[in-house]
Structure 1
């Protein structure tokens, strides 16, 4: 509205919503380790809200792309999906975020029991998909995408044992 989006306002909106989704995803993943190591365990209460914001920005990212970039041309969307595999990767990440958002409410969490945690561990897969989507859309891994991958590695480092177990890479005890 103030005409400060630059020469290509659609591209600016796509980048703004996509990067904010990534940044909020990083912050969401930072909450658990921060709550463990800092004397402010109350921040765990905000993790769900941050996750909902990640979903909102991701959906906004998709809607800006469909409504402004493609002008709701569904045949063009189909050809874009075929020509640009990073869109498929982004849609897979969005489907994971949708499942996590729908099941983030306390009533569904209780109904799902132990399966809830297994489902919400998909956030690590989602992170990789999001960064792959971003890297491919930038058409380079050098520069900005490399910084995001490094931040993701740092965020996942405290969870390496959990991730190994979740993906089945850890050695199981034999009886």
Structure 2
């Protein structure tokens, strides 16, 4: 699809992904977040983090299945939006739950498993965001950079576990199952593709061996 290469696409996607944050900011100030606005804000930011993560993991499969190579130019920006919403989600917890009392945060995180795994996911996002630029690719080298950025799969697993534990208290697992299924399919596809590549390489190696 040629329109994906249009110069206006990236700014347009950027604006679209800022809209949820803008709406939540307006809703918070306008008192439109319900009876428990702090909880609504924290959970909404977590939801948008998961949605952005789904899109990031969808970019490569869609590019391969459809041949829309221009999708690759959106992946980095979408990844930074995962970090953006994940950071707002974590900071909202630190603000509304702990009043930015960092000593209380440090005590609370290890005590509650769902916050611990969520924090681990966010710390991985910090590393990925900090190394998402061309200078980091040159510094690390392409192979090591790609290996590091496969940590996005660990982020997805930790995010689902965080979501599962958060919903366990209310025995509400419907949305958890949806995200877990999506991530399982996407990660399964990547694992299958990796195996196919290894088999192709092994087959090519056997063909190239000279016969005595």
State the TM-score, normalized to the length of structure 1: 0.87
- Structure 2 residue corresponding to 1:69, chosen from 80, 97, 111: 97
Please state which structure has a larger fraction of its residues in helix.
2
Residue in 2 that maps onto 1:118: 147
1:107-166 alpha-carbon deviations (Å, 9 max, x no partner) = 11122111001101111111101111111111147322111111111222211236779x
Aligned residue for 1:5, secondary structure, equals coil
Segment drifting more, 134-143 vs 118-127: 134-143
How big is the shift at 1:69? 2.2
Residue in 1 that maps onto 2:159: 130
How big is the shift at 1:75? 3.9
What is the root-mean-square deviation of aligned Cα atoms in Å?
Answer: 2.1
Query: Superposition pairs for residues 1-175 of structure 1, below 5 Å?
Result: 1-113=29-141, 114-139=143-168, 140=171, 142-161=173-192
Instruction: Give distance in 2, aligned partners of 1:155 and 1:90.
Output: 21
Relative contact order (C-alpha < 8 Å, sep 6+): which is higher? 1
Residue in 1 that maps onto 2:205: none
Instruction: Give distance in 1, aligned partners of 2:88 and 2:194.
Output: 29
What 5-or-longer segments of structure 2 have no aligned partner?
Answer: 1-28, 197-201, 203-212
